[in-house]
């Protein structure tokens, strides 16, 4: 199953915002010397948390990630199938739910085949001695299992990569709005420099509330703060013999945090729910 290590959502958002501050800081001419250097601060953490479009975007990405996780975990129940049968499972899992009676019956049949092979593999693995035929069966099942794990690992990596790409695209689209709001507030207030409030120990006028009010008012006027950048995940991808797989259908689940790359890896043990043993 997929591990609970978080995707670097905050790092990406805050990192992008930080890059914008250099531009915002020099958005207007320095104040005359007799007025002194006016400095403002903005809390990037609060912008990330309270800007409605950013929050909505994270919810969209969270839904997409949950759907991918479900797809990955469902395929993990079929790790003792041959390559051809596993590809059939991939095609069935990608279909809209509920499945037809015929498709559901076939999926259940393939699950039973995998479960029976899983049980046989566990018995052979636990045996202190094996006949030559049993050794061949064990090695064959182990080869099948390791090949499926490799495919699931490739799927996991693709999910993580695509999540990062989707987040970067979505966040980049909002950063122009954030920059414009910061520059506008700085110019209206006569500030020559804007810094991240979370990096300043003392001083500076906090304009975070004003920036948020401007951003959220614009978002509401433009359509209620809907997230448009993350996009829906529609349909699953293809798991190929070389281990490529993408996919899943639409899912309404998920939450604010899109994080969570999970680990499809093995390890020693028994059963399809976890990783089974390695090579003898």
Cα first-last separation, the chain: 24
- What confidence tier does 228 reach under pLDDT thresholds 50, 70, 90? very low
Predicted confidence at residue 172, as pLDDT, reads: 81
Q: Would you state the pLDDT for residue 171?
A: 83
The answer, as to whether pTM is greater than 0.75, is no
Measured between alpha carbons, how far is residue 135 from residues 26, 129, 148 in Å?
Answer: 72, 9, 20
- The per-residue pLDDT for range 67-121, each reduced to its tens digit, is 999 999 999 999 999 999 999 999 999 999 999 999 999 999 999 999 999 999 9
């Amino acid at each position: 199953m997929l591990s609970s290590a978080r995707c670097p959502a905050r790092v990406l958002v805050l990192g992008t915002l930080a890059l914008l501050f250099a531009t915002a800081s020099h958005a207007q001419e320095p104040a005359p010397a007799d007025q002194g250097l006016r400095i403002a601060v903005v809390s990037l953490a609060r912008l990330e948390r309270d800007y409605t479009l950013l929050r909505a975007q994270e919810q969209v990405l969270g839904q997409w990630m949950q759907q991918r996780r479900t797809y990955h975990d469902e395929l993990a129940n079929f790790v003792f199938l041959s390559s051809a049968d596993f590809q059939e499972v991939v095609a069935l899992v990608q279909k809209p739910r509920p499945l037809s009676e015929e498709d559901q019956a076939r999926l259940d049949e393939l699950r039973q085949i995998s479960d029976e092979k899983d049980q046989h593999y566990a018995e052979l693995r636990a045996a202190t001695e094996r006949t030559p035929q049993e050794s061949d069966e064990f090695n064959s099942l182990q080869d099948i299992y390791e090949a499926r794990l490799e495919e699931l690992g490739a799927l996991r990596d693709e999910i993580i990569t695509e999540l990062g790409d989707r987040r970067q695209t979505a966040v980049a689209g909002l950063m122009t709005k954030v920059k414009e709001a910061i520059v506008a507030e700085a110019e209206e207030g006569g500030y020559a420099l804007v810094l991240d409030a979370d990096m300043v120990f003392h001083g500076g006028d906090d304009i975070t509330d004003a920036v948020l009010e401007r951003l959220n008012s614009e978002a509401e006027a433009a359509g209620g703060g809907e997230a448009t950048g993350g996009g829906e995940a529609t349909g699953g991808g293809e798991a190929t013999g070389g281990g490529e797989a993408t996919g899943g259908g639409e899912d309404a689940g998920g939450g604010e945090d899109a994080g969570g790359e999970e680990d499809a890896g093995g390890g020693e043990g028994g059963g399809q729910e976890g990783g089974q043993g390695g090579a003898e």
